[in-house]
């Protein structure tokens, strides 16, 4: 069975504006981790991370028409999430000295935006990769337990000697997906041709 | 930018290990032997830097459920709203005053109903909602633009079911409507901007 064709961001936003329930759900599924990852970085409680998550997507639902350029959606979400975190941290008594310890993200730095965008692209590329390669790369780089080659081999059903070459092939496939998605675009932080 | 498989695998392995003089020498040798390896190495290193700093956190089940409910309501709202709303820049108006939230210090009075004041990007809106016999409501409102602008269109959008209700303003910017019991969004358009007042609850 072929996997369903994945909608572009422009198609997704357009479907959301038309009131398509599935499109809204897909929007949250696609961008949800981006929002919670940023909020978790502020070391909030789970309840407060959830609060930020709901606040940001409520604003997203109401402001989708104002975002305009679909390529700006992830940057808008990153900025909006940082601001929501700042407001929550400032007004909550649970986070002492929040204003002292956390810079006002009224204007998130270019680096913060780029980092967020790259993280988002990486996650999207892994999802596009799918299958064994996604499983392997997430296991190697995201699992806190850092499975060794034997554990990975058992999980994938291959010999431990094959894990290294399989990892390299999957990594190379990920590289091509990322290149297509602009991860290595001119001027980006990851641009190998940058001279600064 | 082709490099052979074994070179790629070796570059990946060396990039993933703690830096040592030996590994740096080996990388230099690989790049010297295949000049295209330099650009590939830069990409590998960029990817590893991102993967290592990656901390994708899955939203909690309860947060996803809550947002799914909001999404469902929104999908329904979007289909009830006028088509031009998709073409304008919309911002939520902020609630400044709700008579229902005032402490019981004799300020509320005995009259049923409630009053609301909202502030949006380009106007302030006062609302007076009064229940009437038969379960209907009388909605009185006044829109005060903060700038010298024209209010082009005002629409009341029920959250469920019926089509949106156009709102006519008199010369003073006031309106008066008899409405069925429901929750409504009020949308006010001026040019390419719109203000949105969410969920006026006439229930």
pLDDT of residue A40: 86
Answering whether pTM is above 0.90, one says: no
Calculate how close chain B gets to A18, using CA atoms only, in Å: 6
Picking from A17, A19, A32, the nearest residue to B76 by CB comes out as A19
Q: Scanning every residue of chain B, which has its alpha carbon at the shortest distance from the alpha carbon of A21?
A: B75
pLDDT of residue A3: 41
Please answer yes or no on whether B51 and A165 come within 8 Å at the CB atom.
no
pLDDT of residue B173: 93
Q: B40 near A179, Cβ under 8 Å?
A: no
Q: How confident is the model at residue A58 (pLDDT cuts 50, 70, 90)?
A: confident
The C-alpha atoms of residue B127 and residue B141 are separated, in whole angstroms, by: 4
pLDDT of residue A104: 59
Has the ipTM of the complex gone over 0.85?
no
Calculate how close chain B gets to A33, using CA atoms only, in Å: 5
Q: Which residues pair with B186 in a beta bridge?
A: B156, B197
Stretch among A87-101, A119-133, B187-201 having the lowest mean pLDDT:
A87-101
Query: Taking all residues of chain B, what is their mean pLDDT, rounded to a whole number?
Result: 85
The C-alpha atoms of residue A77 and residue A57 are separated, in whole angstroms, by: 9
Picking from A65, A115, A168, the nearest residue to B90 by CB comes out as A65
pLDDT of residue A188: 58
Pick the closest to residue B59 from A92, A47, A137, A135 (CA basis): A47
Q: How confident is the model at residue B147 (pLDDT cuts 50, 70, 90)?
A: confident
pLDDT above 80 (res A112): no
Picking from B5, B63, B90, the nearest residue to A54 by CB comes out as B63
Pick the closest to residue B24 from A193, A168, B32 (CA basis): B32
B202 exposed, middle or buried (CB, 10 Å; 0-12, 13-18, 19+)? Answer: buried
Strand B94-98, strand B114-119: pairing: antiparallel
pLDDT of residue A101: 60
Q: Does residue A20 belong to the interface with chain B, where contact is any CB pair within 8 Å?
A: yes
Q: Give the pLDDT mean for B96-101.
A: 87
Pick the closest to residue B198 from A35, A77, A63, A13 (CA basis): A63
Q: Give the pLDDT mean for A15-43.
A: 85
> Order of strands, edge to edge, in the sheet holding B94-98?
B94-98, B114-119, B123-131, B137-145, B174-179
Q: Give the pLDDT mean for B30-38.
A: 86
pLDDT above 50 (res A2): no
Please answer yes or no on whether A141 and B12 come within 8 Å at the CB atom.
no
pLDDT of residue A196: 41
pLDDT of residue A56: 92
The C-alpha atoms of residue B198 and residue A77 are separated, in whole angstroms, by: 21
List chain A residues with CB under 8 Å of B161: none
Q: How many residues does chain A have?
A: 196
């Amino acid at each position: 069975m072929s996997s369903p064709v994945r909608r572009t961001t422009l198609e997704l936003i357009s479907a959301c504006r038309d009131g398509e329930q599935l499109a809204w759900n897909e929007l949250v599924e696609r961008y949800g981790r981006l929002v919670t990852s940023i909020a978790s970085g502020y070391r909030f409680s789970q309840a407060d991370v959830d609060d930020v998550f709901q606040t940001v997507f409520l604003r997203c639902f109401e402001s989708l028409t104002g975002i305009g350029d679909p390529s700006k959606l992830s940057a808008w979400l990153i900025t909006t999430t940082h601001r929501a975190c700042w407001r929550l941290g400032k007004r909550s008594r649970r986070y002492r000295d929040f204003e002292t310890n956390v810079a006002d993200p009224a204007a998130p730095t270019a680096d913060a935006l780029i980092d967020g965008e790259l993280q988002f692209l990486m996650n999207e590329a892994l999802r596009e990769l799918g299958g064994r390669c996604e499983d392997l790369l997430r296991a190697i780089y995201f699992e806190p337990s850092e499975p060794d080659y034997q554990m990975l081999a058992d999980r994938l059903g291959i010999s431990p000697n094959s894990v290294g070459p399989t990892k390299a092939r999957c990594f190379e496939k990920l590289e091509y997906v990322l290149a297509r998605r602009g991860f290595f675009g001119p001027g980006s932080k990851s641009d190998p041709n940058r001279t600064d | 930018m082709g490099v052979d498989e074994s070179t790629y695998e070796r570059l990946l392995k060396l990039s993933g290990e703690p830096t040592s003089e030996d590994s740096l020498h080996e990388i230099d040798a690989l790049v010297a032997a295949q000049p295209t390896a330099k650009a590939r190495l830069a990409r590998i290193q960029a990817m590893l830097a991102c993967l290592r700093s990656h901390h994708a956190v899955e939203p909690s089940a309860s947060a996803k459920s809550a947002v799914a409910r909001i999404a469902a309501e929104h999908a329904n709202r979007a289909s009830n709203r006028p088509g031009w709303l998709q073409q304008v820049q919309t911002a939520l108006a902020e609630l400044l005053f709700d008579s229902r939230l005032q402490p019981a210090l004799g300020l509320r009075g005995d009259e049923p109903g409630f009053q609301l004041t909202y502030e949006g990007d380009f106007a302030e809106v006062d609302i007076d909602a009064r229940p009437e016999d038969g379960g209907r409501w009388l909605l009185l409102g006044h829109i005060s633009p903060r700038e010298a602008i024209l209010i082009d269109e005002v629409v009341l959008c029920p959250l469920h079911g019926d089509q949106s209700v156009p709102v006519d303003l008199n010369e003073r910017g006031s309106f008066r409507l008899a409405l069925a019991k429901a929750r409504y969004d009020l949308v006010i358009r001026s040019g390419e901007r719109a203000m949105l007042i969410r969920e006026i609850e006439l229930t």
